[in-house]
Amino acid sequence: MERADLRHRQSGDQEIDVEAHLGTFAPELAQLEIGNLAPVKKGVLEVKSNWKYALDTYGEGYHFGSLHAGNIGMQFFSDVAIFDQFGRHHRVAFPPKIYNELTQKPESEWPADEYGGIHFLFPNTIFFIGSVEAGKRFTQIFRLFPGDTPGETRTQFAIFAPKGKDDPAFIEQVIAAYDGTAWVVMNEDYKVSAEGWASLSHVPKGFKVYYGKNEIALQNLHRGIAEAIGEPVP
């Protein structure tokens, strides 16, 4: 593909050099086969929170055990994560608790695993790869945008299935995955995001937020945003 073909014109005279923007993240995204997806369901999730603050919830798993105790927290570890950085982009994954059972078996007996994880495309897009069961994969895409004020976020949320996988039973499972995720995001993640943002809106002058070592993906996110707007942080 010619380099010129990788340019997408934005508003005004601005252009995005997609090849340069993706960098080493391009081959990682290529593995997701996004061009081979068909849309199944979409909607908009709104929250009264700054979009960057709402985006934080997609980058760490230590809140699983407390915030998602009845769903995600039952399936995944809260204190273990895999992080891969690709410039301003990254990939993060959280191992399921069933891996505990594999520690007692030789690696030769480990079963094949479904590819998954959260892929962050700077500055505002999340690709989540999951499966309803073995061999039946879906892709969720979240795009977070600022609302009319700094304290509002609109998330365009959509779920996709591989093209050609149009079995009615599978599509119903994918729709159920969308509905379940939307419920968790709105009633747990975004609920806490709104409460946290309301508190941050009233902090005293000079108040600072620190990101810990278990928030390495969040560090990458905010460092990238700071650099992009010309206000780099240490």
Cβ proximity of 125 and 34 under 8 Å = no
DSSP reduced 3-state for 37: strand
- Give percent of the chain with pLDDT exceeding 70: 94
- pLDDT > 80? residue 11: no
Q: Is residue 8 part of a domain?
A: no
Place of tokens 């960057």: 52
Query: What six digits make up the tokens of 212?
Result: 């810990």
Tens digit of each residue's pLDDT (9 = 90 or more) over 138-159? 999 999 999 988 899 999 999 9
Q: Is residue 23 part of a domain?
A: no
Q: Residue 172 belongs to what domain range?
A: 37-202+209-228
**CA 63 remoteness from chain centre:** 15
Q: Is residue 22 part of a domain?
A: no
Q: What is the pLDDT of residue 22?
A: 96
Query: What six digits make up the tokens of 112?
Result: 């094949």
Tens digit of each residue's pLDDT (9 = 90 or more) over 30-81? 999 999 999 999 999 999 999 999 999 999 999 999 999 999 999 999 999 9
Total domains, the chain: 1
Q: Is residue 31 part of a domain?
A: no
Q: Residue 156 belongs to a domain with what CATH number? A: 3.90.380.10
Cβ proximity of 164 and 170 under 8 Å = no
Using a cut of 0.95, tell me whether the model's pTM lies above it. Answer: no
Q: Is residue 234 part of a domain?
A: no
DSSP reduced 3-state for 80: coil
Q: Is residue 14 part of a domain?
A: no
- pLDDT > 70? residue 7: no
d(CA 200, CA 53): 10
Q: Is residue 191 part of a domain?
A: yes
